Each structure stands twice: as structure tokens, then as C-alpha cells.
Homo-oligomer: A and B are copies of this chain.
Amino acid sequence: MRSSQGLLQLIGKVSYKRTILHNFKFINIAYNSQRRNYASEAETTAEIHKKVPTKVFNYTYDTYPHLKRNPNFKELSPSDIKFFQSILSSNEIIIDNGNNQDDLLPYNIDWMKKYRGKSRLVAKPKTTEQIAKLVKYCNENKLAIVPQGGNTGLVGGGVPLFDEIIISTNNLNKIRDFDHISGTLVCDAGCILEVLDNYLAERGYMVPLDLGAKGSCHIGGNVATNAGGLRLLRYGSLHGNVLGLEVVLPDGTILENLSTLRKDNTGYDLKQLFIGSEGTLGIITGVSILTPRRPKSVNVAVFCLNSFQNVQEAFNISKGELAEILSAFEFWDINALRMVKHHLFQGTNLPLEDKYPFYVLVETSGSNKEHNEEKLHNFMEILMTKGVVEDGVVAQDNTQIQNLWLMREGIPEAGSKSGSVYKYDLSIPLPVFYNIVEDMGNRLKDAGIFGKDKPVTDVFGYGHVGDGNIHLNIVAKSYSPEITKLIEPYVYEWTAKYKGSVSAEHGLGLMKADCIGYSKSQKMISIMKQIKQTIDPNGIMNPYKFIL
């Protein structure tokens, strides 16, 4: 059957106006093909450490002086330290001795260097039993705790605000079991997502979750924050894929529910409460997850479109034509593309011209290469016949696949190189999906602060069309209360008006701890608080965050 090259040629012959697909070459591209290295939504704590400037930034509580330490929590005493040392070996604990701030720092700050806490003790236990003992002690002594995974969060949920004790899952990194027939994987919470995916790749399976931070983030953190990412469109959310959890509850009890069963209707599905609870109900120490077979063939195409209505139409057609092999449908706007071009593709040729308002990346994954390519061809033919797309490229090998993905995944990195970025992670119904970007741009222009040589230099949008999830980014020369006031709560009110979610896949964390009311009713919040009170009566688990 046809090769990708053949597909391009075939389409090239179709003589619709403006529909000849650009048969590009990826020459001299500034990045290599290791996609994960450039999907820099996150770095490892070690990498953060290296880059921490000598003069570190302010403590979060200094930046936000309205945040007050809860006086009910005990401060760390020598006897507490003694207890921790009785449970942990010397390489499993970092204690503030007055001279080792650099050792504590990577755990006290987030990767964006936006939040900084002042914890004096980092525990890195190797076993669930150790964690259970530590948590029990903390609960009895009212010592507050921050559970921390790969520390790749974007909302300040994984770092302390004051002197909370950090319990890191860094050393909890064993794969416990894998069943090659059912595809169920059971592992420690501290396993790095990419390590798991590589392990599964050798066995013909994959993690049903993929995100920029895969090289650093922990599966436990993914579950605790209900991470979304690039494969959700195809494989669904963690609420469907996680089969069981092992959790250390705030009283130190180990909740053992590492089920490997697809069906289990015995009682309320408690594990669901912990998925997306952001460490406020306990510490996830083990995960059982259903993994799908790894597709044998992957194709990627990027298209240029003239309107967001056409983006919607292309998505609609992809659901019919690509159907069971559609694995991603991502979009970005021209401002995002120009920024990526400027910061990441300088001195190289962009595979697409930066003159169309919208760009879409479509990925297909399936078990039969020929079938997949034929479906993709049919899909593209319909797009062009209907005049839905203006131009496009199809990757012809794995390197080109990685490079096309880079245009999408390089956006956060390009953004951070452009200035101080206000990031909003929103779920918005498709009919008004892109309007928030336009409305926000107009609002900032009307206020006279957006434009060349103005405080705000760029407003752009990108994200997961297939999931109704947009990332609104506002680039400023520097963060300022004036700009913030123009953006918030406007962006949240706008989202609430259209029944969207103010936190799609990133969580509430510290950043949006007071924002849940925009997306949930007072009754729901009240029930959530009762559940928190039931499971964590002393409130020691990740305080000040999630729901205030």
C-alpha cells in the first residue's frame, strides 16, 4: 500500500486551489529527535538544583503576605528529628543544619521558580511502611506534610508554603508486577512516567498517559493530580485507567487496594477520591494501572487553517474518518507558532509558513501501518475537498514525527523564553473555545497595556482540542499586580459563564485554592470539605492548598 511519501505525492496531485501540501524537508533543525528532551514543561529536581541562582527568589509567603501559617501546626523540634532519623537512614533524609540550604532548595521550590517554601526536613523513604510510620507520627504531633513526586507541577501544589515536612516519593521507585496478558502494571508511586513507558515498550505495551514532564514526573503525582496530557483523547482519563491504589492515610493506616481487576463493584469506589486530590487526603504509594498495547504504527500530520470554525470541522471529520486510530488532535495559533519559530527554530526552516491563524496536529496510532495510512489519506482528501485546511505536512519518518510534535510541545519553552508568562489551563466548550484568547487580547489592548513596547507583549492559545482543553498564555515583561488584576478574576468569570472549568488538567494547588467556586457549587464544596474532615481531621496533608 502507499507510503507516507506516496500519500504526499498523491495529495499533491489533487488540484484544489491552495491545497497542495507542502513537501518539506527537516534540514538543520536545532533540535534532535528526542521529543522528551524538549517537552520542557518540567525538569528533574537535580536540574532545578543546578540552575537555582545564587540569590534565590522570595519566599511565597513574602510574595503573598495574606497567606498565614496555621498556628495549630507544631514546629519541627529536635525530638521530631530524632524520630525521623529512627525510621530513615542517613541518605533518606535531609535536615536543615543551618548550612545546607542548597540541599533543601530543590525540594522547597517549584520548577517554574514561582513558589518557594521553607521546609526544614525532606524525607525520602524507600518503603510504604516507613511512610506509614512517619505520617502516623506527624498526625499525632500535628506536623504538616507536603507529599512531593517529581516536583513538576505548575500550580504550587507540590512544594511547601511554610515549614511543612516534605515526604518525597523519589526513592519509592520499584515496578512490582506486570501481567502480560491483561496488561495490568503495579508499581511504586515514585516510578518516573517515562521509565514505566520504556519498561512497557519492551513488552509491547504503553502507559495510557503522556505529557511533557514524562522524564521527571512520578506516576503517583500523575494520579494525585489526575494529569491529562496528550493521550487522554484516545485512552481516557486516569479515573478510567487506574485499577487500584495503595495510599497512606493521614492517620498512618495503609489503604491497600492495589486491585488488578477491571471490574469491582464492591462498595463506593474510594480510589476515585484520591485521583486528583492533590495530596490532601493521603500519600499515594502504589499504583495499579491498565495499560494498552503499544501501537505498531504512528503517523503525524500538521495542517494550516483559516478559522477556528475550520479547526472544529477538521476535528469532527477526524472523529469519523480516523475514528479508532485517532490518538491526538492538538492546536495552536499563529502567535504561538511565531514564538516557537523565533525561539526554537531560528536559523532553520519551519516546515509550515507562519501566515495562517491556526495550526492543528493530528496523530494516528494503530496496529496496521497500511490501514492507518489509508485512513489518514482518506481523511486528508476530505479536508481538502471540503476546503477545511489550507496547507499541511505529513511526517515521513520517526524523526519528522518528533519534529512536528516539537512545534506543539516546544510552545511552553518558547513562552518562558519570551518573558514572564501568565498561564491558564481551562476547559471550555468547543463552540466558544478560542474566544477567550481573543477576548483577553482585546481586554488588555483596551486597557492600553498590550502591544509592542507595552507591559504585555503577547497573548496566545494552544492545547488539546480533542479534550476541550485550552492553555491561555499571556506574556508580560514582568509579573505585576496591575496586569494580574486585569486578567483575574476576569478569566475565571469568563470560564464560569460558559460552564467551563478553571482547572482542566493542572490542578488547583496553591495558585487556585480559592477558585473552585467558579466551577463547583457551594453544596459540592461543602461535601468535599466534609470528606477532607473525615479522612484528615487534623488537616495535616498538604495544607493551604486545593480548597480553602
For residue A482, CB closer than 8 A to chain B, the reply is no
* Given contact pairs A269-B276, A270-B524, A371-B375, A263 touches B324 in the complex (Cβ within 8 A): no
Residues on the B chain within 8 Å of A262, using CB: 232, 237, 427, 467-469
Cross-chain contact B182 with A263 (CB below 8 angstroms): no
For residue A240, CB closer than 8 A to chain B, the reply is yes
Taken together as a complex, chains A and B put the C-alpha atoms of A315 and B182 apart, in Å, by 9
- Report which of B281, B320, B518 forms a contact with A367, defined as CB distance below 8 A: B320
Cross-chain contact A321 with B265 (CB below 8 angstroms): no
For residue A25, CB closer than 8 A to chain B, the reply is no
- Report which of B267, B468, B505 forms a contact with A525, defined as CB distance below 8 A: B267
- Report which of B181, B204, B263 forms a contact with A501, defined as CB distance below 8 A: B263
Taken together as a complex, chains A and B put the C-alpha atoms of A520 and B264 apart, in Å, by 10
Cross-chain contact A524 with B367 (CB below 8 angstroms): no
* Distance from A155 Cβ to chain B, minimum over Cβ atoms (Å): 10
Interface residues of A in 484-542 (CB under 8 A from B): 499-508, 515-516, 518-521, 523-525, 527-528, 530-531, 534-535
Residue of B nearest to A278 (CB): B265
Cross-chain contact B261 with A504 (CB below 8 angstroms): yes
For residue A10, CB closer than 8 A to chain B, the reply is no
Taken together as a complex, chains A and B put the C-alpha atoms of A504 and B265 apart, in Å, by 5
Taken together as a complex, chains A and B put the C-alpha atoms of A267 and B546 apart, in Å, by 7
* Given contact pairs A272-B269, A293-B320, A263 touches B504 in the complex (Cβ within 8 A): yes
* Distance from A326 Cβ to chain B, minimum over Cβ atoms (Å): 10
- Report which of B268, B312, B520 forms a contact with A276, defined as CB distance below 8 A: B268
Residues on the B chain within 8 Å of A182, using CB: 429-430, 468
Cross-chain contact A547 with B267 (CB below 8 angstroms): yes
Taken together as a complex, chains A and B put the C-alpha atoms of A219 and B320 apart, in Å, by 25
For residue A295, CB closer than 8 A to chain B, the reply is yes
For residue A273, CB closer than 8 A to chain B, the reply is yes
Residues on the B chain within 8 Å of A546, using CB: 267
For residue A310, CB closer than 8 A to chain B, the reply is no
Residues on the B chain within 8 Å of A277, using CB: 268
For residue A275, CB closer than 8 A to chain B, the reply is yes
Residues on the B chain within 8 Å of A322, using CB: 367
For residue A335, CB closer than 8 A to chain B, the reply is no
For residue A256, CB closer than 8 A to chain B, the reply is yes
For residue A226, CB closer than 8 A to chain B, the reply is yes
Residues on the B chain within 8 Å of A34, using CB: none
Residues on the B chain within 8 Å of A225, using CB: 265
Cross-chain contact A268 with B237 (CB below 8 angstroms): no
Residues on the B chain within 8 Å of A508, using CB: 265-267
0/1 per residue, A292-318, Cβ < 8 Å to B?
010100000000000000001001100
Q: How often does this chain occur in the complex, in copies?
A: 2
* Given contact pairs A236-B236, A367-B375, A521-B257, A273 touches B276 in the complex (Cβ within 8 A): no
For residue A94, CB closer than 8 A to chain B, the reply is no
* Distance from A38 Cβ to chain B, minimum over Cβ atoms (Å): 24
Cross-chain contact B320 with A295 (CB below 8 angstroms): no
Cross-chain contact A181 with B312 (CB below 8 angstroms): yes
Residues on the B chain within 8 Å of A502, using CB: 266
* Given contact pairs A182-B468, A324-B325, A507 touches B261 in the complex (Cβ within 8 A): no
Residues on the B chain within 8 Å of A181, using CB: 312, 315-316, 430
For residue A374, CB closer than 8 A to chain B, the reply is yes
Cross-chain contact A429 with B260 (CB below 8 angstroms): yes
0/1 per residue, A407-430, Cβ < 8 Å to B?
000000000000000000001011
The 6 closest A-B pairs by CB, nearest first: A240-B240, A272-B272, A323-B367, A264-B501, A263-B504, A266-B519
A-B contact pairs, 28 of them (CB 8 A): A181-B312, A181-B430, A182-B430, A232-B263, A237-B263, A253-B523, A257-B521, A261-B499, A262-B467, A262-B469, A263-B504, A264-B427, A264-B501, A264-B504, A265-B503, A265-B504, A265-B507, A265-B508, A266-B518, A269-B273, A272-B273, A272-B275, A273-B273, A293-B323, A324-B325, A324-B366, A368-B375, A371-B375
Q: CB within 8 Å of B: which residues of A?
A: 179-183, 204, 225-226, 228, 232, 236-237, 239-241, 249, 253, 255-257, 259-270, 272-273, 275-277, 281, 293, 295, 312, 315-316, 319-325, 366-368, 371, 374-375, 427, 429-430, 464, 467-469, 499-508, 515-516, 518-521, 523-525, 527-528, 530-531, 534-535, 546-547
> Given contacts A236-B241, A262-B469, A267-B508, could you give 6 more A-B pairs where the C-beta distance is less than 8 Å?
A255-B527, A293-B320, A320-B367, A323-B367, A324-B366, A534-B534
